[in-house]
Amino acid sequence: MGEEFYAIIKLISGEEIIALISVDENDGDPLIILQNPLTMKMIHSPTGSYIKVKPWMELSDDDIFIIRLDRVITMTETKDQRVIEVYDSYINDDEQDSIDIYKPSGQVKVSNKMGYISSVDDARKRLERIFKGIKES
């Protein structure tokens, strides 16, 4: 079995997948071994560009798939760190049953360290006082 590398593969079905792959020379009939194959799609919106990531085989519990080389139109090794980081992040988060979405720079995820302005009960009481015209003391 050959060395592993990240590759983007275009199949004859039209699907484009990214995976950590290795090629196995099996009696002159090469087989491609895919580990955790994903489909990635660029989404462009007025707020920025995002990468939509989902498993290639959504209902399967397997991590490794084998395809024959005659099912591949083209294959290219990717060294784009952003794509590899999104791939690794999705695979690692999927193992922990949570999904992390790549966000363009400048956006911040909410964390527990950010704090709260008030609790729901405090906000409700203040809004009721404002509505009733009662001044706060």
Q: With bands split at pLDDT 50, 70 and 90, how would you rate the model's confidence at 18? A: very high
Kindly report the pTM of this predicted structure.
0.62
> What pLDDT does 98 receive?
41
Residue 99 clears pLDDT 70, i.e. is over it: no
> What pLDDT does 100 receive?
45
Per the structure block, which two tokens stand in for 108? 């911040």
- Could you please state the CATH topology (level 3) that the domain comprising 5-104 is classified under: SH3 type barrels. (2.30.30)
Could you say which DSSP state residue 71 is in?
A: G
Q: Give the domain ranges of the chain.
A: 5-104
110 in Cβ contact with 43 (< 8 Å)? no
Q: With bands split at pLDDT 50, 70 and 90, how would you rate the model's confidence at 109? A: low
